[in-house]
Amino acid sequence: MADERVALVTGGSRGIGFGIAQSLAAEGFQLVICGVRNEDAVQQPLAALREQTEVAYFSADVSIAADRQRLRDGIQAKFGALHVLVNNAGVAPKVRADILDASEDSYDWVMDVNLKGPYFLTQLMANWMIAQRKAAADFAGCIVNVSSISSTVASPSRGEYCLSKAGMSMATLLWATRLGEYDIPVYEVRPGITETDMTAGVKEKYDTLIADGLLLQQRWGQPADTGKVVAMMARGDVGYSTGQVITVDGGLLVPRL
């Protein structure tokens, strides 16, 4: 049962993160949502989540060490525990640029938010989970990394994004290996073409591709599609499958002739 269990979803007030938060709320998890916007700017999604469960919001940038520590301390003060970490927060390049021309500034920003931030947030929260596990044998924790099909599908117009997601895939394997002795599973979810504000600018392009048969299931992915997978992991339904990846892409990557 998820009663009294606490889940942190980074970037959980919009897009795929909000879909994940909704699914976890429906399971009875108490929620911690963090994002870079002020709480006043996210009242609508927070209100929707609070209709189902208790929710705390922290304005925090996962790429900044002090923000990560403040987030951890805030969760400790508010709930006293953390059972599930969902590393979902991420950014796309501000400008899509050919890798022959892309800037170091863009590379540094995307890698800091998408890879360095969740890597060290996992380090911080995993150590806390280990302490909780040692204090209570029935403690059940897990970590879920939200990457992307871009971890294996090359897009030369946003190379820094692809590299950040490929790094997240290796981070999943590293943390699964390190945390196995504590029975803290680490999973990865790879969404495909999902309808969010991040993909709004390419909607017409993908509407056409989907209509032309790009996907086996000929529709856009929805945040809830990823949310339901994360909820399954958080519930413990696949507790003996650490290090595993579930791709949520409507069959995009199925080889076919």
Indicate which residues carry an active-site annotation: 161
Q: Rounded to 5 degrees, what angle do the CA atoms 69, 56, 118 make? A: 40
Name the strand (E) or helix (H) holding 246. strand 245-248
Q: Which residues contact 138 (CB under 8 A, 6 or more apart)?
A: none
Integer angstrom CA distances of residue 255 from 183, 214, 215, 251, 252: 34, 11, 11, 9, 8
Closest to 90 in 3D by CA, of 120, 64, 125, 61: 61
CB–CB of 25/46 below 8 Å? no
> CA 39, CA 59: separation in Å to the nearest integer?
7
Q: Where are the alpha helices (DSSP H) in the chain?
A: 15-26, 43-50, 65-78, 104-111, 117-135, 159-179, 203-211, 223-235
User: 253: buried, middle or exposed (CB in 10 Å: 19+, 13-18, 0-12)?
Assistant: middle
Q: Is the dihedral of CA 113, 31, 231, 238 positive or negative?
A: positive
Closest to 143 in 3D by CA, of 194, 192, 191, 82: 82
Integer angstrom CA distances of residue 74 from 78, 98, 143, 205, 217: 6, 41, 19, 42, 42
